[in-house]
Structure 1
Amino acid sequence: MTEARRRWPKLDPDSGVEDVTLLILEWLGEQGVGAMIRVDAERMREGRPAWTFAAGGGPLAGGLRADGASVAQCMGRALHRLREAGLDVPF
């Protein structure tokens, strides 16, 4: 895995954040942050935002959560909150 840290892919500006979600999770893990993204089938059936991102530990002072109706919306909100918390996520 140490080699992967040095070879981040060049991103297509037309692709969405969902294309790099796993890379973001891996980067967070390398920073000592535990993170996950999940989908809740019950909330999806009810028409509520079904996607949840959660992170904590490492340089984060407290837990962080973001919800969205899609992966892109959820991760967009998560990236915004991570940056507000002081993490310079390279995506």
Structure 2
Amino acid sequence: MSEMDIRDLMYASARTGACVLVTCNSQHLEERKGVWTVSVTGGPWRGRPLRDKGATLDACLPTLVGALPDRPCPSESGMDAQNLMQELSHAGVTVLVKCDGERLREGGRPWTFVASGGPMEECPVRRDDITLDACLVNASRLLMDIGPEWTWIEKHLP
């Protein structure tokens, strides 16, 4: 699966009214457990949520692909969410990206980025935005504002 698939699958699921969470867990990285988790709740999955866990994001996504009624159309690619999440996880940070179908339907900001734990324990970062790219760019800037130890994130900015 490519980065574009992550973006498109999350958005297509949210359009059905579902809430989709993709998490890269730094603690699981250290414990050599499934680092990536994909969870889908609400909408058509109300009462029967989907959840898959794996060593790679690509290992988790087939569960979501199989559950969607139609294959989503590719969108423009933007920031590489998967690599950013993975690098933050290697730095000891747990990262969550969410696309919320309810907020999407209401015309709100459906995309959420959260970085917490490890070195972010005292100052977690959260950003909600209208597109995944805006969410990632703005969250990256917030992370870089925390201190010089996070300036490496700039290489992920478009």
Fold similarity call, TM over 0.5: yes
Matches of 2:81 and 2:146, distance apart in 1: 18
Structure 2 residue runs without a partner (length 5+): 1-76
- Residue 16 in 1 paired to residue 78 in 2? yes
Matches of 1:66 and 1:85, distance apart in 2: 14
Kindly, what percent of the aligned residue pairs are identical?
A: 32
**What pairs up with 1:1-91 in 2 under 5 angstroms?**
16-17=78-79, 20-60=80-120, 61-86=122-147, 87-88=150-151, 89=153, 90-91=155-156
* Greater C-alpha Rg: 2
TM-score of the superposed pair, with normalisation by structure 2: 0.45
- Deviation of 1:59 after TM superposition, in Å, equals 1.9
TM-score of the superposed pair, with normalisation by structure 1: 0.76
Number of residue pairs aligned between Structure 1 and Structure 2: 75
- Deviation of 1:85 after TM superposition, in Å, equals 1.4
- Deviation of 1:62 after TM superposition, in Å, equals 1.7
3-state DSSP class of the match of 2:109? coil
- Deviation of 1:54 after TM superposition, in Å, equals 0.4
Structure having the higher helix fraction is 2
3-state DSSP class of the match of 2:118? coil
CA deviations over 1:32-83 (Å, ceiling 9, x no partner): 0011100010000000010000011222232110111010111011111110
Matches of 1:37 and 1:64, distance apart in 2: 12
2:15 aligns with none
3-state DSSP class of the match of 1:77? helix
3-state DSSP class of the match of 1:59? helix
- Deviation of 1:16 after TM superposition, in Å, equals 2.3
